[in-house]
Amino acid sequence: MKYALVTGGSRGIGKAVALKLANQGWPVLINYRSNQEAAQATLDEIVAAGGQAELLPFDVASAEQTEKAIDQWEASHPDDYVAVLVNNAGIRRDGMMFMMSDDDWHSVLDTTLGGFFYITRRLLKHMMPRRRGGRIINMASLSGLKGLPGQTNYSAAKAALIGATKALAQEVAPRNITVNAIAPGFIATDMTADLNEAELTKMIPAGRFGRPEEVAALAAFLASDDAAYITGQAISINGGLYT
């Protein structure tokens, strides 16, 4: 059986992606680091709608935890593999660079960029043999395209993720694997709850923040057979907020 794995799948965009993929018929692995209550609520919602889901807790920023979690899952699912990977896990530690701590810098890059590296490297071992194929979808950001003041760490991580997307896409295309990035603009989630939505909305031609479900719809398309010839792209979904 082919599974979809969504990192940071308990809340916000990750939750919306997990729900959408389950609705499309994918059994979904919901990764989370610490908020088991939110992850369980996402799983319960999927099951209530007739879908399949499992919880897969580990910190994507830890190579050791990532390897251990996937090893254990594969041992209990010898005939299955992850065919769709959505690298969604990420954190913000905003602040002006001259005041930024080492921890604020490294924690953001370790989660977004290190997390992408550890889990993608591990799962490619089963996507690549015998041209099984797969879909890798990396959740980038407007910050990675435009750069936003107060987010030097976050912008650096997301920009690097876009570069990695374009490079990896060329490496694995002969193996029937696509790699794309989604670059959301301002999306209404708990991660953006501290932003001045009224002020920022003035910059957006669509006149509003996006919804997680709108990002999830794009992720589901990129995971589908219809997107088999789309790879190495960074697709913006930002209400017309051009960079």
Q: Which tens digit of pLDDT belongs to each residue from 198-215?
A: 888 999 999 999 999 999
Task: Tell me the two tokens of residue 162.
Answer: 């876009």
pLDDT band at 140; cut points 50, 70, 90: very high
d(CA 218, CA 147): 23
First to last CA, the chain: 40
Tokens 């435009």 correspond to what residue? Answer: 146
Q: CB of 211 within 8 A of CB of 158?
A: no
The pLDDT value recorded for residue 163 is 98
Beta carbons within 10 angstroms of residue 211's beta carbon: 14
Per-residue confidence at 129, pLDDT binned at 50, 70, 90? Answer: confident
d(CA 195, CA 189): 10
**Residue whose pair of structure tokens reads 């990750």 in the numeric block:** 14
Confidence (pLDDT) at 196: 82
Residue 199: in which H helix or E strand, if any?
Answer: helix 197-201
Catalytic residue of the set 32, 81, 118, 154: 154
- Above pLDDT 70, what percent of the chain? 99
Contact 181, 231 (CB under 8 A): no
Does the reported pTM lie above 0.85? yes
What mean pLDDT do residues 40-51 have? 98
Query: Residue 190's pLDDT is what?
Result: 78
pLDDT band at 194 (very low <50, low <70, confident <90, very high): confident
Q: What is the arithmetic mean of pLDDT over 13-29?
A: 98
Q: How far apart are CA 229 and CA 243, in angstroms?
A: 25
Q: What letters, b where the CB count within 10 A reaches 16 and e where it falls short, cover 133-152?
A: bbbbbbbbbbbbbbeeeebb
Rg of the Cα trace of the chain?
17
In angstroms, the CA 158 to CA 150 distance is 14
Do residues 183 and 237 lie in contact, with contact meaning Cβ atoms separated by under 8 Å? yes
In angstroms, the CA 156 to CA 228 distance is 29
pLDDT over threshold 80, residue 130:
no
Higher-pLDDT residue of 49 and 242 is 49
What distance lies between CA 99 and its chain's CA centroid?
Answer: 28
Listed in order, strand segments (DSSP E) in the chain are: 2-6, 28-32, 53-57, 81-87, 134-139, 177-184, 234-237
pLDDT confidence bin for 131, thresholds 50/70/90: low
Q: How sure is the predictor about 243, in pLDDT bands with cuts at 50, 70 and 90?
A: low
Q: What is the pLDDT of residue 198?
A: 87
Query: Is 50's pLDDT higher than 80?
Result: yes
118 part of the active site = no
Q: Kindly indicate the confidence band of residue 195, based on its pLDDT and cuts at 50, 70 and 90.
A: confident
